[in-house]
Amino acid sequence: MSLNAKELIEAMPINFDETQDTSQQSLDKLLSSLSKMPVPVSRLTRMWALGSMQAKVAIAYFAYWMRSGFVSGDDKQRLLNETHLKAAFKLLGGMSYLRGAIMKVGQVIASTPNVAPQEFVEVLGRLQFEAPSMHFSLLREFVHGELHHDPEELFDDFETTAFAAASLGQVHRATLKGLDEKVAIKIQYPNISRTIHEDFKNLKAATFPMRLTRDWDNIQAQFEEICDMLGQETDYEQEAENLRAARLLFTEDEGIIVPQVYPELSTKRILTMSYFDGLHLDEFLTTNPSQALRDEFGRKIVRSSFRIGFRGKMLYGDPHPGNYYFMPDGRLGLIDFGCCRHYNDAEMDYMDSVEQAYLTSREAVYEAIIRATDLTSTDASRQDHMRLGVEYADWVWEPVQQDGPFDFANQEYFTRGVAIFSELIKKRYTRSKPINTWLTRNVYGIRAILARLGACIDFGEIYREEARVTKPKK
């Protein structure tokens, strides 16, 4: 047997699929078993594991299709729900094993309303906070290599079990040595940066036929932008700088807080910062909060996003439920500033032109969309591309332009936005400025959270306050 084949077989995750057991106990067992396995790095290994995961999901639905012809009514729906659940477990196991960019996809599915069946959302939601963490023996060795001491020597009360683990790393609680101050230590999985580049090599290989189209150069630029976006999240020194910059944007009375960084206990792959004791979104919603409290947190989420963008000239690129803490005293905690884009002058000028277009006329909006998508060709699809581009832009600006509060609890709004974007992708209308990749992630992330929160807020008023623009006269 060749070395590569032997490595592939040894690297494959445990065969969780044989039991067909989707209980909480089996799920915990799966995640515990995966915690002892290193993240696979080889491009071939990751391609094989991803293909295996896709095949298992396809087989699950093929089995449903075969069996569904012999049942009807409620039994058919029950069988479909069970298939969704089993497929979600297969995805959870595969994504937890691969981590990195593949797990990011699962996080997006779990945090976006009305995109996947509820069974997928509930199971893949574990990827936000409860991915399999690195075994402590591996972690101790990694910390020692970065900080030249074991974690117990650097901190008091270092918790050996991670309280949060996700796609790129895990987080442990501890107390600063000799001080009664809790900190969160974010520790990166070894070699995770390399896996991102290998995954994108696989993605480029999968899209090889598109090299023959006129859109390939633009698609390649967007691939590189996404790869850079994820790659930035593995640079904890840059994240520390982002945290320091964001902390300066908010005053104490605004109720929006960003962790303090402890540089002497941080490196490029370890980040020590102040600890927030709050609830994530799903935990917060189980407390049955009042509508007034939902709205107040919704306003803080929106204000923080616009403040970081307009005054900090930085885009908070990863707004998912795991990155917000709902504090008992009403404050909103923001964490995870690894995925942030610092705008250059050309990008600020582009975004300002889009803003001015919506303050001016429909003709100006059309011109802004042409600029955004490079719609300079005269082929047959141009008119349809423009139609969808206008629909998407109008959807984005709808909450800004509405007078008074906008009800994000109305699922029709978010569902419509997903449908428009899905049609753009389906028709391969993908030509766009690379910065739009970041903006789209931010737009859908923020609005997905507002939808789950059920917030009803004056979105436009907050936008105008932070952008410092005047509402146009009708």
Do 196 and 234 meet the contact criterion of CB atoms below 8 Å apart?
yes
| CA angle, 244 then 245 then 248, to 5° | 90
pTM for this prediction: 0.71
Do 454 and 289 meet the contact criterion of CB atoms below 8 Å apart?
no
Instruction: Name the residue type at position 289.
Output: P
Rg (CA), the chain: 23
Do 400 and 465 meet the contact criterion of CB atoms below 8 Å apart?
no
pLDDT by 10s per residue, the chain, length 474: 333 444 433 444 444 444 444 455 555 565 555 555 666 666 566 665 665 555 555 555 555 555 555 556 666 666 666 666 666 666 666 666 666 555 555 555 555 555 555 555 555 555 455 555 677 888 899 999 999 999 999 999 999 988 887 667 889 999 999 888 999 999 988 777 766 666 666 555 545 444 545 555 655 665 566 666 666 778 899 999 999 999 999 999 999 999 999 999 999 999 999 999 999 998 999 999 999 999 999 999 999 999 999 999 999 887 888 899 999 999 999 998 988 889 988 888 888 888 889 888 888 888 888 888 776 655 556 788 888 889 999 999 999 999 999 999 998 999 999 889 888 877 877 777 778 888 888 999 999 999 999 999 999 999 999 998 655 544
Query: In 115-215, which residue ranges form alpha helices assigned H by DSSP?
Result: 118-124, 126-129, 136-147, 151-154, 192-206
- Please give the Cα distance from 299 to 303 (Å, whole number): 6
Beta bridge partners of 324: 334
- Please give the Cα distance from 316 to 306 (Å, whole number): 9
Residues 6+ positions from 414 with CB-CB distance below 8 Å: 113, 114, 408, 447, 448, 451
Do 154 and 177 meet the contact criterion of CB atoms below 8 Å apart?
yes
